[in-house]
Structure 1
Amino acid sequence: MDKRNSIEVVDNFWRQVWQSRNPDAVDELVAEDFGITSGGVLISSRAEFKKWVAAFLASIDDFGFEVIETFQNATGDRVVSRWRVTGKNNGFMGSDPCGSPIEMTGTAILHVRDDGLLQHNWVERSALEVHRSLKRPNC
């Protein structure tokens, strides 16, 4: 590939996994040795990431995922995407499932391999702010 459009790869990942709420799509979209670093914690391997996605999705009812903007570097091996998650608390971050609204924003930097598979995802998100809001009485 001379100049890849890795934005299409990442948009497909967001659509297939997160917007469709389908952890099984991970099998076709990320490398076997995929890693995600989220909140300073590394989750290694496609299988572990798939479990992490399923648990994350289960913790937020009425899950919504919106892409705000996405762009890539000149070679196409790195893509940055800003996004927003919305829904209702069903035990997010170990909190009591109280149904209170959740809105979280984040930024992901994704490494896209030459074959179009995702190799790594570094994520920073406003989880602390969400966590604080869920610790209030009655969520």
Structure 2
Amino acid sequence: MTHRNAVAIVENFWKEVWQSRNPDAIDALVAEDFGITSGGVLIESRPLFKQWVARFLASINDFRFEVVESFQDESGSRVVSRWVVTGRNNGFMGSHPCQSPIRMTGTAVMHVRPDGLLQHNWVERSALEVHRSLAAANS
């Protein structure tokens, strides 16, 4: 079994897509049939994922993505990352774009294929807590 640095592959994805706010970088980094499961909802295919990312980025002004930590399993097929997103509300989760501060934490489990492309991302995030804080700020 060959040991590989799958953390570097995933952290490059974070850098190129999320930290650079560039959904087009997805084309080179994820499989065509990539899927993301977020909050129990599956978004399947590279094109649909790119649209999802673009909408997400548009909903948070001054978007910042910080990786807290990442680690991988022995085979390098799974990487877990904890992260923090900050910015200002520009309609996150359908809310009024009030520009209130947003701070959301999350955890992602990535499936990294042997060829280095990402196959799937299971993500859990504190979106409900963010939504509640935005609702309180607008009441």
| Cα drift, residue 137 of structure 1 | 4.5
Distance (Å, rounded) in 2 between the aligned partners of 1:87 and 1:41: 24
> Any residues of structure 2 matched to 1:94-133 within 5 Å, and which?
94-133=94-133
Aligned residue identity for 2:100: S
Match of 1:6 in 2: 6
Match of 2:54 in 1: 54
Check if 1:44 corresponds to 2:44. Answer: yes
Match of 1:77 in 2: 77
Aligned residue identity for 2:98: C
SS in 1 for 2:133: helix
Match of 2:86 in 1: 86
| Cα drift, residue 138 of structure 1 | 2.6
Q: CA RMSD in A?
A: 1.0
How many residue pairs are counted as aligned between the two chains? 139
After TM superposition, the score normalised by the length of structure 1 is 0.98
- Unaligned segments of structure 1, at least 5 residues: none
After TM superposition, the score normalised by the length of structure 2 is 0.98
- Work out whether residues 100 and 137 of structure 2, in 8 Å CA contact, stay in contact via their aligned partners in 1: no
- Work out whether residues 87 and 103 of structure 2, in 8 Å CA contact, stay in contact via their aligned partners in 1: yes
Distance (Å, rounded) in 2 between the aligned partners of 1:2 and 1:95: 47
- Work out whether residues 65 and 85 of structure 2, in 8 Å CA contact, stay in contact via their aligned partners in 1: yes
Show structure 1 runs of 4+ deviating over 2 A.
none
Distance (Å, rounded) in 2 between the aligned partners of 1:53 and 1:131: 18
